[in-house]
Amino acid sequence: MTIADYHAAVAREMSEKDLSQLIVDQARALGWLVYRTWNSQHSPAGFPDLVLVRGDVLIVAELKREIGYEVSPAQERWLSALAAVARAYVWHPRHWLSGEIEAVLRGAS
């Protein structure tokens, strides 16, 4: 099994909750102020899962499982609107495993 195969297998099994916790832990360790919606039932439809602030940088991120989960029209509206004033992302487990999310949080992207 190659590393790519291993990452693909891990990504398929990772829950959105697990991905969220990994990102929140890393963001806090890097000095980000973190807001995470725990239960979206009383939130506006489509509002992103994470809001991160550090200095003058604002990141909003919608988190999705690796397979079979699409961004809804309401989520797309929020992300598009927020992209005018923030860095907006849709992150999947593969983005965590590749190091892409950590690079963003460290300021490389």
Distance, CA of 93 to CA of 27 (rounded, Å): 16
Distance of CA 49 to the CA centre of its chain: 7
Residue 100 has pLDDT above 60, yes or no: yes
State how far Cα 33 lies from the chain centre.
14
Residue 88 has pLDDT above 80, yes or no: yes
pLDDT for the residue numbered 58: 97
Q: What is the mean pLDDT of residues 1-22?
A: 82
CATH number of 3-106: 3.40.1350.10
Would you give the DSSP letter of residue 26? H
Q: Is the pLDDT of residue 108 over 70?
A: no
Question: C-alpha distances in angstroms, 64 versus 17, 47, 50?
Answer: 9, 13, 12
- Reading across the β-sheet that carries 33-36, which strands appear in turn? 33-36, 50-54, 57-63, 87-91
**Is pLDDT above 80 for 65?**
yes
Q: What is the pLDDT of residues 15-59, one digit of tens each?
A: 899 999 999 999 999 999 999 987 767 788 899 999 999 999 999
